[in-house]
Homo-oligomer: A and B are copies of this chain.
Amino acid sequence: MIVVHHLAHSRSQRILWLLEELGVPYEVRRYERMPDFKAPPTLFEAHPLGKSPVIEDKSEGIVLGESCAIIMYLRQKYGESQTMSAEGALDDLYYTHYAESTLLPLLVTRQRLLRFANSAPWYLQPLFHYALSAYREMYVEPDLPRHCKMIETHLTRNSWFSVGSDGPTSADYAMIIGLEALVVAKIVTPETYPAIRKYIEKVQARPAYQAALQKGGVFLYAKQTLATEQRGPEA
């Protein structure tokens, strides 16, 4: 049995999606976020860094952190025998690392900078907004269009992140939450990056993704990206 230590509204949601696709039985231990959106201290009981996701594979006596290490481990052990072309394997390798090493750190920093400025006491807000926006304009915002363009180009030409694949591989599990976050941030819309938007819809429509949503509890990124869709494109 696999136990997933699952922080609400976090990158651990995709581990549930993967486990549903693999058909591996698992148990979810859900942790709610604190009022400042940080992970609760109870997560330290699962892992010394207090981060999510963490899985326990009881059959092996294994405890493992880091989203993409977990994805690689689960797919290798319980997974997919799909053979990829050399080109597809290289895409899979690239986007699996890119998701956690480059895209998500950028998006997490962006979200934290905005949240932190908004949570300052009222008399400090103008000061904090000014300084943190200047930082964001220097290190975050100029990169975003390049990232979106690279991903959009790839998804315009390919159904999945691994070229020639007929279903999700590691890179797709790795990438999904970053793409959902781009929709929530209103950077990706059906007008700006239609291929990314369509890709997200395709993933969210999969029975395994839907089953993972049921199992994991409320997931703001899915809720908000679906809601955006229902409301129609943003102005």
Show the binding face of A for B, using Cβ within 8 Å: 48-51, 62, 64-69, 72-73, 90, 93-94, 96-98, 100-102, 104-105, 108-109, 112-113, 116, 120, 124, 127-128, 130-132, 134-135, 138-139, 143, 146-147, 149-150
Let me know if A128 and B139 touch, CB within 8 A.
no
- Cβ-defined contact, B101 with A48, below 8 A: no
B-side contacts of A65, CB under 8 Å: 94, 98
Contacts of A132 in B (CB 8 A): 131-132, 135
Known contacts A64-B90, A130-B127, A132-B131; A102/B69 CB under 8 A: no
Check B66 against A94 for contact (C-beta < 8 Å): yes
Q: Is the interface of A mostly helix, strand, loop or mixed?
A: helix
Instruction: State how many angstroms separate the Cβ of A50 from the closest Cβ of chain B.
Output: 7
**Contact yes or no, B62 A102, CB < 8 A:** no
A73 touches B102 (CB 8 A): no
CA distance A94 to B127 in the complex (A): 40
A49: which B residues are within 8 A, CB to CB?
102, 143, 146-147, 150
